[in-house]
Amino acid sequence: MKHLIALAALPALLFSPPGLAAAPHEAAPIKTRAYSTPALLFALRTDTQTLARLTPVLDPSFDFVPGPREDARQGNGYRHLGDLALTVRTGDGAQRSYTSFEARRPIRILPAGRALAAADISASMGAEMGASAPLAVERRWLNERGTLVLRFTLINRGRQPVQVVSASMPIVFEQHGFGATAEERQASSSTVKPRPGALGSVEVARANGQAPALRLQPDGRTRLDSWQDMPSGQLQGEQYASWVTSGFTLKPGAKRDIGVRFVIQPQGATR
């Protein structure tokens, strides 16, 4: 069942974490749309349908993602939950890489159906992907039995097999925090601990130890094969790693889902 809720307005003035550039004066406010599941309140950007806010119902004052910095992070190159990077090979061709965040292009909104929101994000992966690797990429945000799910569907629309060497989902949680004091920054940040493997997960604990915590679990056959750090020398202060699943081939006309499930841990992080 879909739920729309009003999210509290973000504070007008926020302190930037050490090492992060302040929002440019000309940055336009980001437009978002609010949704909810029984355990989470969240918002998606209306232009990209990437995650702009993720708040536990048990503590609506806390945001797991860098929502307060969304206006500053709206440009090309900034990664969000809901973005995707692919490394693929078509037939005997060369290996090529594509992302949805390096040079954003308008996405195509799809009928939501049973999802909360759905879009074809193929255009944002780049025109080159359509020419050399005929993959379509659809993304859906779902409420499945009370659990928030982020799911990508990769579809081979070509006439040759496409090998997906790796599919990487940026895992973007606020790890710097906000505020003028160390206590305030700790209260608004999280720690992120990956547990790679076939049944891998990512544990997201609030830095001050308070409940609730969050666990990212595989959706379907989405192994956490590796945890890939962001290349050095890119955007200052943006040290967000990616959940990487790898090693499958799509025959012509075939499709495959990959994604993660956002599971609230009411008692706090699992040790």
Q: pLDDT, tens digit, for every residue of 197-237?
A: 878 999 999 999 999 999 999 999 899 999 998 765 556 66
User: Hunting for tokens 């094969």 — which residue is that?
Assistant: 225
Q: What pLDDT is attached to residue 247?
A: 86
**Mean pLDDT over all residues of the chain?**
86
Q: Please write the tens of the pLDDT for every residue from 16-51.
A: 333 343 344 456 788 999 999 999 999 999 999 999
- pLDDT averaged per 10 residues, the chain (length 271): 39 35 56 97 97 96 92 90 96 91 94 97 85 86 98 95 96 86 87 91 95 96 92 65 94 97 86 52
Cβ–Cβ under 8 Å, residues 209 and 200: no
Q: Which amino acid is at 267?
A: Q
Cβ–Cβ under 8 Å, residues 60 and 41: yes
User: Hunting for tokens 């809901």 — which residue is that?
Assistant: 82
Q: Which amino acid is at 166?
A: S
Determine if the peptide bond prior to 212 is cis (ω within 30°): yes
Find all residues with CB under 8 Å of 271, minimum gap 6, and list them.
none
Q: What share of the chain is helix, strand, coil (3-state, %, to 5)?
A: 5, 40, 55
How many CA atoms, within 13 angstroms, populate the side-chain half-sphere of residue 115? 16
Q: How far is the first Cα of the chain from the last one, in angstroms, to the nearest whole number?
A: 33
Q: What pLDDT is attached to residue 184?
A: 84
